[in-house]
């Protein structure tokens, strides 16, 4: 009997016995070097991460037509899961991770699926026949990057997808869950289903704040998700935005301590991790703060900073699954 590709995919997912699950917005990155004129034209600042508005819609075609872009499988959570799987595969643990999100029924969606599979990540995408796969303009200038995400199909993920037998096989097998804050604009109800499962089964739930606009404009959603977070990640600009919004002060070590001590479901203490580029990474837990020095990469080896934070999380998660202590996990993230 020859199984259809769909049935074969379902059979593979149903047999998933891995330990890491991510859920988020799968986006195809359209990445190109641009000049200041392009940034000015679309009103974008370096190191921005924003959702596309009407004024940004033409940028995707402009990049394709004029900038010889690279097409890269992206989306913050999917990036982190792929990096974690690269490390786990190198350590003799292939097929340990899975990712859930929503894509269109189109070439970009197929490209995302193929890239994930090539990296050893099992994907169980919700397929939206009426909406194209999401894209993200990655504008690179002098090694720095800005992101403009057009979520499209990624915005249409529904809790019903978690009721499929394949999704249940994934999240029941997994012991570690990671969701980036970008997903908070899409389906908090879906996040809560996964987080409640983690809580009820004494598993580990990890969250990333992802961008200042998430903190500023989706505060209720952040508050809902944060209560479940055993590990919380963000960078220095997101940490500063959270501190400002909630009156926690400007000292990021104090901000980290206060977030770590804020209300939480379950009995595990919360660990808060603030990355700061080439400056020391801040880790707060149980009333203590530790700073972990970063060895800066020589400028001539730096291509761009796109995905740097996602890669940090991937390294951290892979080490966490190997039951390493937090300091070792941070070092793996730096590497």
Helix (H, G, I), strand (E, B) or coil at 24: coil
> Is residue 310 flagged as an active site residue?
yes
Can you name the residues that pair with 138 across neighbouring β-strands? 31, 147
Backbone angles phi, psi at 10, to 5 degrees: -60, -40
Angle separating helix axes 252-260 and 236-245, nearest 10 degrees = 70
Helix (H, G, I), strand (E, B) or coil at 30: strand
**Measured CA distances, 49 to 16, 78, 144, 148 (Å):** 33, 16, 12, 6
| Spacing of C-alpha 18 from chain mean position | 19
For residue 231, what is the DSSP state? E
Catalytic residue, from 29, 128, 230, 310: name it: 310
d(CA 124, CA 149): 21
Helices (H) and strands (E) counted in the chain, each on its own, are 13, 14
Number of C-beta neighbours around residue 219 at 10 A:
14
Question: Would you please indicate which residues are annotated as catalytic (active-site) residues?
Answer: 310
């Amino acid at each position: 009997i020859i199984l259809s590709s769909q049935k074969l995919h379902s059979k593979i997912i149903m047999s998933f016995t891995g330990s890491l699950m991510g859920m988020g917005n799968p986006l195809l990155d359209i990445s190109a070097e641009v000049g200041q004129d392009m940034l000015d034209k679309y009103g974008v600042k370096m190191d921005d991460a924003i959702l596309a508005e009407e004024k940004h819609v033409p940028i995707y075609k402009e990049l394709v037509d004029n900038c010889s872009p690279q097409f890269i499988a992206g989306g913050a959570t999917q990036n982190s899961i792929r990096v974690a799987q690269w490390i786990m595969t190198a350590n003799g643990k292939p097929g340990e991770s899975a990712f859930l999100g929503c894509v269109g029924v189109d070439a970009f969606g197929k490209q995302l699926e193929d890239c994930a599979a090539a990296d050893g990540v099992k994907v169980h995408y919700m397929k939206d026949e009426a909406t194209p796969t999401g894209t993200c303009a990655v504008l690179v200038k002098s090694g720095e990057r800005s992101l403009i995400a057009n979520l499209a199909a990624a915005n249409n993920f529904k809790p019903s997808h978690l009721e499929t037998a394949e999704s249940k096989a994934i999240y029941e097998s997994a012991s570690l869950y990671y969701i980036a804050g970008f997903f908070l604009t899409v389906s908090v109800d879906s996040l809560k289903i996964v987080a409640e499962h983690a809580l009820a089964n004494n598993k580990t739930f990890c969250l990333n704040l992802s961008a200042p606009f998430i903190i500023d404009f989706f505060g209720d959603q952040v508050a809902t998700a944060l209560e479940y977070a055993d590990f919380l990640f963000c960078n220095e600009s997101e940490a500063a935005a959270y501190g400002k919004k909630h009156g926690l002060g400007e000292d990021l070590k104090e901000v980290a301590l206060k977030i770590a001590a804020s209300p939480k479901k379950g009995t595990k203490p919360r660990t808060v991790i603030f990355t700061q580029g080439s400056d020391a990474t801040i880790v707060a837990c149980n009333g203590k703060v530790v700073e972990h020095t970063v060895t800066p990469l020589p400028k001539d080896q730096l291509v761009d900073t796109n995905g740097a934070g996602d890669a940090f999380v991937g390294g951290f998660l892979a080490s966490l699954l190997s039951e390493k202590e937090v300091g070792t996990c941070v070092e793996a993230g730096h590497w």
